[in-house]
Amino acid sequence: MANIIDGKAVAAKVRQRVAEEVKQLAEKNITVGLAVVIVGDNQASRVYVNNKKKACAEVGITSYEYALPESTTEEELLTLVDKLNNDDSVNGILVQLPLPKQINENKIINAISPKKDVDAFHPENVGHIMIGDYHFLPCTPAGVMELIAETGTDVCGKSCVVIGRSNIVGKPMAMLLLHKNGTVTMTHSKTQNLKEICANADILVAAVGKAGFVTADMVKPGAVVIDVGMNRNAQGKLCGDVDFEGCKEKAGWITPVPGGVGPMTIAMLMQNTVTAAKK
C-alpha cells in the first residue's frame, strides 16, 4: 500500500516561503504583481485562473485579471501583451491556455517578455531549461520535482519514465529529471511496449490526458507514481491519468487527483512571480 504524497501540504509550505519573500520585498518598497489573462469562457480555465488569483492574494502578490471575450483577435491580445510587457507594476504575465482557434498560441507566447514569462513557455526560457541554466522553471514539472523530493527519493541513476511529450509538461519534465541525473525515457502515443517500459520505472510521471490510463500492471512495486492528469470521468468527477485505486496497492508513493500536482503548479507560479520581481 503506497504512501500518499500530499500536494496540498507541500504547496502550502512553498506558498509560506513565497509569502515571506514577498514580505521582505515589501520592506524594500518593492511590490509584486502578476497579470493573468483569460480569453473566452473555457470552464476549466476559469477554475485555474480563480485558483491562481486566490493564491496571489494569500501570498501578498497583486493580481491583475484581464478577462477577454471569446471573439478577441490575435492583434488585440498582442496589444495587451505589449502593454503588460511595458507596465512596471507587472512582474509576471500569464496567458491561460488554451486560446480560441483564431489566435496562434506560439505567436502570443513569443510576444511575452522572457523576463516576465512566469510559465517559462517562451523559446528563450525553454532554451535556458535545456542547457540547465535557468531562472524560471516551468511550473508543473518544477512542482513534480518538489513532490519527488518530498518522498526522499534520490533521482540520481533511477529509471524515470515520462508518459506524454507536451511542451508544457512532458518535454521539460524529462529535462528536469535529466538534470538530477535520472535515466529518462520519454514515451508517447506511438511508443511500443509501453506497459513493459513503465513497469521498469522507479519514477513514473503520467501526463497523458486520459482518465485511468496508467493501470497497476504498468507500475513497478515500490515506484514513485506522479499523476499530472486533470480529466473528468463519465460521471463528471475530476480524476487523473492514473487508476489510483489499483495503482496505490503497488506503488511506494503516489499522488492523488485532486490534491497532488495541481496545487504545486500554482505554488511554483507564485515562486516564479517573486523571482521575476527580484530580477
* Interface with ligand GUN in residues 7-46 (CB under 6 A): none
107 labelled catalytic: no
* Interface with ligand GUN in residues 106-165 (CB under 6 A): 119, 139-140
Toward ligand GUN, which CB reaches closer, 48 or 253? 48
* Interface with ligand GUN in residues 240-269 (CB under 6 A): 265
| Interface segment toward ligand GUN; rule CB under 6 A; list 14-22, 91-99, 154-162, 242-250 | 91-99
From the list 119, 202, 227, 243, the catalytic residue is 119
Q: Which DSSP string do the residues of the chain spell out, in sequence order? A: -PEEP-HHHHHHHHHHHHHHHHHHHHHTT---EEEEEEES--HHHHHHHHHHHHHHHHHT-EEEEEEE-TT--HHHHHHHHHHHHT-TT--EEEEPSP--TTS-HHHHHHHS-GGGBTT--SHHHHHHHHHT--S---HHHHHHHHHHHHTT---TT-EEEEE---TTTHHHHHHHHHHTT-EEEEE-TT-TTHHHHHHT-SEEEE----TT-B-GGGS-TT-EEEE---EE-TTS-EE-SB-HHHHTTT-SEE--SSSSHHHHHHHHHHHHHHHHHH-
The answer to whether 238 contacts ligand GUN (rule: CB under 6 A) is no
Q: Which DSSP string do the residues of 180-247 spell out, in sequence order? A: TT-EEEEE-TT-TTHHHHHHT-SEEEE----TT-B-GGGS-TT-EEEE---EE-TTS-EE-SB-HHHH
Could you say which of 32, 68, 94, 224 contacts ligand GUN (CB under 6 A)? 94
Toward ligand GUN, which CB reaches closer, 52 or 248? 52
Cβ 203 to ligand GUN shortest distance, Å? 21
Q: Please give the residue whose beta carbon sits closest to ligand GUN in the complex.
A: 97
Cβ 104 to ligand GUN shortest distance, Å? 15
Toward ligand GUN, which CB reaches closer, 99 or 161? 99
Could you say which of 12, 19, 25, 97 contacts ligand GUN (CB under 6 A)? 97
| Interface segment toward ligand GUN; rule CB under 6 A; list 83-91, 95-103, 153-161, 191-199 | 95-103
From the list 16, 54, 83, 96, the catalytic residue is 96
Toward ligand GUN, which CB reaches closer, 187 or 265? 265
Cβ 215 to ligand GUN shortest distance, Å? 25
Could you say which of 59, 95, 145, 175 contacts ligand GUN (CB under 6 A)? 95
| End-to-end CA gap in the chain | 45
Applying CB under 6 A, the residues found at the interface with ligand GUN are 94-97, 119, 139-140, 168, 265
